């Protein structure tokens, strides 16, 4: 083989080995202990303290300025997946799940801060969309249950979208979908924080 060909193969193989070696270093930014089953992966995750245990006595409290829609969807999800019936109460609480708006604490649009402590879960959003996406992350942390208590790991999750437009296009020109299928699509898109459907 000519010298140039041998040099090409040598450099190509060396580059592949270097890139393979850098792969683990690139993922070392987030230790495996801080990865939670949240999609998309949040901006910041910190594990702390003991878990919060959802039971049939757990209630969802909506703060001022929030419509009860997001809390109602979360309660429906817990009823379907975890087989638990949660109640909804307005105002603050010591125990339970508390939803609130605070554009000073969460500065990015559609951003949220989820704090899971042993006696209280707080979802703080920059806006109503941020609270909704925080509840979607909380939903992803819930294990599928059989009607007993559901344990949510103690953590602090801060997240906001990198892209303002996160969409999916469904081509219905060649195949028509029934309305229940489209509604299920919307539920799945919302679960993964995709904000545009066309």
pLDDT tens, residue by residue, 137-180 = 999 998 876 667 789 999 999 999 999 889 888 888 888 888 99
Quick: pLDDT tens for 6-52: 544 444 554 444 445 444 444 444 554 467 899 999 999 999 888 99
What are 90-148's pLDDT values in tens digits?
A: 655 567 999 999 999 999 999 999 999 999 999 999 999 999 999 999 999 988 766 67
Domain ranges of the chain: 37-159, 167-197
d(CA 129, CA 127): 5
Helix or strand (DSSP H, E) at 123: strand 120-125
All residues at 6 or more sequence positions from 142 whose CB lies less than 8 Å from its CB, including other chains: 54, 77, 78, 81, 82, 150, 152
CATH of 37-159, one of 3.40.50.920, 3.30.379.10, 3.40.50.300, 3.40.50.2020: 3.30.379.10
Whole-structure pTM value = 0.78
pLDDT tens-digit map of 63-95: 998 988 888 999 999 888 888 888 877 655 567
Phi-psi region of 49 (alpha: psi -120 to 50; beta: other; left: phi over 0): left
Which pLDDT belongs to residue 85? 84
How high is the pLDDT of residue 90?
62
């Amino acid at each position: 083989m000519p010298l140039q060909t041998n040099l090409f193969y040598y450099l190509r193989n060396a580059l592949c080995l270097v890139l393979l070696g850098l792969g683990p270093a690139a993922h070392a930014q987030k230790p495996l202990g801080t990865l939670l089953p949240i999609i998309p992966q949040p901006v910041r995750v910190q594990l702390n303290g003991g878990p919060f245990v959802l039971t049939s006595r757990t209630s969802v409290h909506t703060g001022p300025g929030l419509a009860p829609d997001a809390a109602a969807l979360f309660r429906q999800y817990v009823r379907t997946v975890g087989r638990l019936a949660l109640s909804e109460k307005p105002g603050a609480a010591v125990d339970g799940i508390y939803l609130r708006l605070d554009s000073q604490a969460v500065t990015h649009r559609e951003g949220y801060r989820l704090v899971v402590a042993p006696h209280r879960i707080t979802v703080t959003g920059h806006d109503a969309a941020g609270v909704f996406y925080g509840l979607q992350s909380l939903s992803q942390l819930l294990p599928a249950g059989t009607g007993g208590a559901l344990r949510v790991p103690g953590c602090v999750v801060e997240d906001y979208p990198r892209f303002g437009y996160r969409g999916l296009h469904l081509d219905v020109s060649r195949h028509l979908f029934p309305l229940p299928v489209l509604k299920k699509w919307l539920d799945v898109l919302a679960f993964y924080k995709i904000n545009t459907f066309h």
